[in-house]
Chain A
């Protein structure tokens, strides 16, 4: 018992410093749009950060099923597209703002994820990956041919009615809140029974099942929660783009992005997807700035990612932890 008490007693003091720094960072991010209000010219910064927030939310959500449970999903763009089209259609036909239909879009993605998971999460390993690819292709087929939502031509959405100078700000906040919620949920799951069970499933599903864990239900729940954040992000991103088209969302590339972000940052860790998302977007922007927006930026990011994965198989967080050099600031597990 002394062992337990020792680790418990030591924890609060460490938490404090880390908690202050991280909440300081959040406050800073919350205040940042003031810059744009005071003087024009910061839309680019807000934009890049907004994209980072989106990838943080998407990748942290993906990590719940893909990292903790170890079930690689390539179907998450479907939830993203589902959210985008749901809120987009409501905006076009009803005039309802995606800012408040976004949570509903997330909920719809959750329900859809739950139903899809019930069917496909009976499978283990590669069969599940294939089933998610099938879902992706199927969704593409449906959206390409469903004229009511624009078919392959897509659906144009009305622009947000804000002055141009401020128009990034609501999206910035929307994505920031989604990202914070995603990281918080991911953290809570990591430290809950569900998280323990998911990690057990990732390591040895048969052992987990024999230990008395309803592995299928745990996986389905994880998948459904995971889909929520993709749905919300889709709703916000679609509105921001003012144009929905199946080809922007439903690609294997978009699906692979989430896998890569997690691999680079550290799959199955809380901080991994956050770090990975920041690097992924940051690198991409850097390359675009240096050599322009060509196919090259995708290639360069791709190569960099491959190198990181080759030399740090556990991702950045995993590699640092293995060497005992993970700063406490980033150790959220």
Chain B
């Protein structure tokens, strides 16, 4: 077990033409922690996510993930699917991206593709239904069943994902990401659109993922209930820059964060900006 942070961003910059979406961002996410990335709308949170999961190639800077065995991966040059395949970074999406026409169970089986692909001898053994593959498939269904239970979706396992209610779709997306057996789970606004009861249940789910599977979690969230209750560490972004970082209690009382979120009087802005050094 290495003590290096699971995820480490150094001087990450992402530029879209004239727009500087992420500006020289550096932070670490500790192994086994829930790290929250917050900030007002348009702060660049999702862009950071897309850089980490390889959907964008950052303009400059580096992103490293270190596995438990000390193996280190540089993510900035890897294409998206290789990051999920080799580095085991899984993600969910702000606007849910399930396979709507496939059942909940099938969604979870697709997530175990790479493992099953090897078990099926790249399709050849699987085509003739050899026992090795059938065993692997049973295991895959068992893992899927485990996560369906965890997300309280067992009853809906055989329904198409597109027919599930919104909250259930959010949970299913998390279950699907967990079926890839990730070391780092990136959640893009998992509580968006959930009612208070559902977001409490989400807290329970995320805590149990953290405690039982030792998966580190990085999450973007606007729902402060979720953020303050479950995160171990919070990073605050505004206009692509990190303006603060610390424990939830520290962030809650940080003037710069309050200013970024709530806005302040003109002279106060100048005062705060002078403090930040803008």
| Chain A bound to chain B | no
The residues of A with any CB-CB pair to B shorter than 8 Å are none
The residues of B with any CB-CB pair to A shorter than 8 Å are none
